[in-house]
Structure 1
């Protein structure tokens, strides 16, 4: 089978190589999936660079999530049946940018019937992260104001839709007119182009000086620092990632005097510590997808040959919504 592999760490376009490798076989408790669609995520670029919190042995295949079809099951594997269409995190070092992949059967979830393969692939990590961040960590309530950074990107676009579905007023921050238009189409009530506007001033004006109740921040750096200037009393800042490349050093004295909470979110830990909650979130997300309240924004569908370029573009921050590779 064909599979992209990283033999040496570096920028995705240079580090990823399309190889011919043996088709894997499922072991005990595992299933072999034919990859129908693999979503491109920022962590894929970090994996290529050797900068992710997980560092699989070289060579490895990137691609952290996908929609697939069950073609074989190992001994003792329960749950999905051959022919089922499913979504799942990948099991590195055998990632999703390949024609086939093996994953633990326990982590496989049914793909929502309302979504096609590419949309289903994009529903998992980004929307699960949004669900846990907004509901489990920040306890977002109807009528509150939600500030979403990188609102036209893969993670941010999910938070915009989930915030609207929860009854919040959503303010989306983007970089550039094209991304601003995307955020509006996603349902953001107010869109701020950070290249030409000060989101702190916009948030204060929109909330009559109260500030945002919840900040959803996958960017870090200056986006986090400036968010502390427009966070409401008893507000919650959800730290999702650092696509800016800068990890902020929060002033805890500032959190104290303004009475706000800083909440970390590493969604992958729930697979280990509370897998029942992951399945509950999947049921809720599937229900929202069936009702039309959420639908992943797939901006491009690419052949397997285009995976390395797609990962590089996501790393460079030039994309909107989700790029999906379909072998």
Structure 2
């Protein structure tokens, strides 16, 4: 079977290759899945570059989520069956076949597209868990940068369901129009000089008590500058690859606090994760959760896929497709 693979950490489009390997066999509690679509997430690219929270042993196969069809069941797996379409978190999913822990897979209803199913866990679940831990309620304002990304859109959607006001920051004026076309109206571009005044107009001067920071670098200072005194800034990502830049004055004189959030070590109980996954499945089946794919590339074009993932203005994820 074909698989994407890298033997050194570095720029993804330079170190990724395609290789023929033997198909793995499922062990106890495992399932062999024939991959249909697997998204290219930012954390996948950071892992390949060697900049994520853990480093896999090399050589390594990338990919952390997919939708596929059950090919074979390992010993003790009784809740899934051969030929069933499943989605969920896994490892080494940028391959024609991959192994997954059966307990981490969920059957996908026929009403859910492959494009949505392949992204059903990582970003939507992170957004749900994040909102669960922000300690905000109806009428409160929170802000998120990189708001035109998957988590930004999902947080706005789920926040609205709870009555939480979500202000989105984007870097381009064009992205404001793109978000408006999708129904997201409280979005401001930071490339203009008067963007902070636009924020105050949208919020009516109400305090913004939480900030979700996904850029790194200057993104933290931009975001903290519109937060209320005593607010909390949550470091959620580092798309720029640069350290957070925030002045000591923000912490000392305005009592802004900073904490991190990592979905791999979620601050919610396992049973709550199960409840949230059930909500996601129901939302997707009902058409309330729809996640687009900009383009899907075969495994043989994996380097081109990760290059395309870095292009601005995408309307959906880039994905790797199976045979």
TM-score by length of 1: 0.88
CA distance in 2, matches of 1:143, 1:299: 34
The alpha-carbon distance between structure 1 residues 146 and 70, as it changes in their structure 2 partners (threshold 3 A), is same
Paired position in structure 2 for 1:225:
221
Paired position in structure 1 for 2:205:
209
Asked if the contact 1:160–1:187 (Cα under 8 Å) also holds between the matched residues in 2, the reply is no
The alpha-carbon distance between structure 1 residues 77 and 177, as it changes in their structure 2 partners (threshold 3 A), is same
Paired position in structure 2 for 1:85:
85
Shift of 1:138: 0.5
Paired position in structure 2 for 1:254:
250
The alpha-carbon distance between structure 1 residues 52 and 178, as it changes in their structure 2 partners (threshold 3 A), is same
Paired position in structure 2 for 1:141:
137
**Once the two structures are superposed, what CA deviation does each residue of 1:273-292 show, in whole Å capped at 9, x if it has no partner?**
84322211111222333344
Paired position in structure 2 for 1:101:
98
Matched position secondary structure for 2:233: strand
**Once the two structures are superposed, what CA deviation does each residue of 1:133-177 show, in whole Å capped at 9, x if it has no partner?**
112x10332222232211222332322322233333332222324
4+ residue segments displaced more than 6 Å: none
Paired position in structure 2 for 1:264:
260
Asked if the contact 2:95–2:299 (Cα under 8 Å) also holds between the matched residues in 1, the reply is yes
Paired position in structure 2 for 1:13:
13
Matched position secondary structure for 1:123: coil
CA distance in 2, matches of 1:255, 1:290: 44
Paired position in structure 1 for 2:149:
153
The alpha-carbon distance between structure 1 residues 230 and 178, as it changes in their structure 2 partners (threshold 3 A), is closer
Matched, 1:122 2:119: yes
Paired position in structure 1 for 2:56:
56
CA distance in 2, matches of 1:101, 1:278: 23
Shift of 1:32: 0.5
Asked if the contact 1:12–1:309 (Cα under 8 Å) also holds between the matched residues in 2, the reply is no
CA distance in 2, matches of 1:74, 1:48: 29
Matched position secondary structure for 1:122: coil
CA distance in 1, matches of 2:130, 2:146: 15
Asked if the contact 1:39–1:65 (Cα under 8 Å) also holds between the matched residues in 2, the reply is yes
More helix, by proportion: 1
Unaligned runs of 5+ in 1: none
Shift of 1:197: 5.0
Paired position in structure 1 for 2:40:
40
CA distance in 1, matches of 2:207, 2:43: 31
Unaligned runs of 5+ in 2: none
In the alignment of these two chains, the number of paired residues is 322
Paired position in structure 2 for 1:244:
240
TM-score by length of 2: 0.89
Asked if the contact 1:237–1:262 (Cα under 8 Å) also holds between the matched residues in 2, the reply is yes
Asked if the contact 1:169–1:189 (Cα under 8 Å) also holds between the matched residues in 2, the reply is no
Matched, 1:196 2:192: yes
The alpha-carbon distance between structure 1 residues 69 and 122, as it changes in their structure 2 partners (threshold 3 A), is same
